[in-house]
């Protein structure tokens, strides 16, 4: 469902600026999503926000948008269903299950291209969330630190952060598992040690299976700048087998912006 597609940021920018492809209803939908938590929302939420009586029109607007893209750029390889039909929704969007239903999430490249193509579109939601974190920190000042962190994360930060990571990684950062409901959003530099900006920085996060998440948070594993796993000597061979860990594991990608956070984790959190 969330496989990559060969549309770069630059190509998305050109698509968005071509008004024969990106019609006004399309731009309205995309503008709403970029200011939504994690750049995602359900079809019902989008329809309600844009004053549609039902989400049915969206079921025409987005596939038609995708068809116009493919007509002009036939070299694009779109996602397909098992019966080989094209999944038009998954050209501009990723998808993820949530407690509120199925969420359509802007592809990271599209989210980056939107404010470049339209100066009037500003990614304001992140700033709102950061301000809300500060407000909640003051409100819960009387609570113990760990309790305060849990409350704040459950209220706002963690849901936003997890959705961003799903959009970026599209599967487990190590195993490629796409069972999103069991994957955990793990900060590389821990929440308690991060600035507000770092807490919502997609490059400060990994999307991990629960066993990997627990080991990573506990400092029992870490990762080198090339993605190779580091395993603590505190883990016995039996534990490694039980946890499904092996020295051949690695992150499926590491960008330059990940490296500062990974270095922090190796130096401050990892227990060799």
Written as one string, the DSSP assignment of 154-217 is IIIIHHHHHHHHHHHHSS-TTT----GGG-EEEESS-GGGS-HHHHT-GGGEEEE-HHHHHHHH
Buried b (16+ CB within 10 A) or exposed e, 68-78: bbeeeeeeeeb
Question: What is the pLDDT at residue 122?
Answer: 57
DSSP letter at 99 equals: T
Domains of the chain, by residue range, sit at 9-117, 125-269
Give the pLDDT score at 263.
97
d(CA 272, CA 270): 6
- pLDDT for res 143: 47
pLDDT of residue 39: 79
Does the global pTM surpass 0.75?
no
Q: Which pLDDT belongs to residue 128?
A: 52
Neighbours of 148 (CB within 10 A): 17
- Would you state the pLDDT for residue 130? 53
Chain position carrying tokens 């409100």: 139
| Residue 157 confidence (pLDDT) | 45
CATH code: domain 9-117 is 1.10.10
User: CA–CA separation, 62 vs 33, rounded Å?
Assistant: 13
pLDDT averaged over 10-residue windows placed end to end, the chain, 272 residues? 79 94 93 80 85 87 95 93 88 70 80 83 53 54 52 51 77 87 89 83 92 95 97 95 95 94 97 94
Run of H or E including 101: strand 101-106
């Amino acid at each position: 469902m969330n496989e990559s597609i060969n549309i770069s940021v630059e190509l998305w920018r050109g698509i968005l600026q071509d008004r024969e492809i990106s019609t006004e209803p399309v731009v309205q939908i995309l503008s709403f999503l970029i200011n939504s938590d994690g750049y995602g929302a359900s079809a019902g939420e989008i329809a309600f926000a844009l004053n549609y009586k039902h989400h049915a029109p969206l079921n025409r607007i987005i596939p038609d948008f995708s068809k116009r893209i493919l007509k002009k750029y036939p070299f694009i390889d779109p996602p397909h269903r098992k019966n080989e039909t094209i999944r038009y929704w998954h050209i501009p969007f990723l998808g993820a299950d949530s407690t509120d239903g199925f969420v359509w999430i802007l592809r990271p490249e599209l989210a980056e291209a939107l404010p470049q193509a339209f100066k009037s579109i500003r990614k304001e939601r992140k700033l709102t969330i950061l301000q809300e974190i500060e407000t909640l920190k003051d409100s819960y000042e009387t609570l113990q630190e760990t309790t305060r962190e849990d409350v704040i994360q459950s209220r706002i930060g963690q849901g936003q952060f997890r959705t961003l990571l799903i959009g970026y990684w599209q599967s487990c950062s190590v195993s490629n598992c796409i069972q999103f409901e069991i994957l955990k959003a793990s900060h590389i530099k821990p929440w308690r040690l991060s600035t507000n900006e770092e807490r919502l920085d997609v490059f400060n996060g990994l999307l991990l299976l629960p066993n990997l998440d627990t080991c990573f948070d506990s400092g029992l594993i870490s990762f080198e700048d090339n993605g190779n796993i580091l395993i603590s000597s505190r883990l016995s061979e039996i534990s490694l087998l039980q946890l499904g860990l092996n020295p051949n594991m690695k992150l499926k990608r590491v960008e330059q912006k990940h490296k500062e956070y990974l270095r922090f984790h190796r130096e401050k959190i990892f227990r060799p």
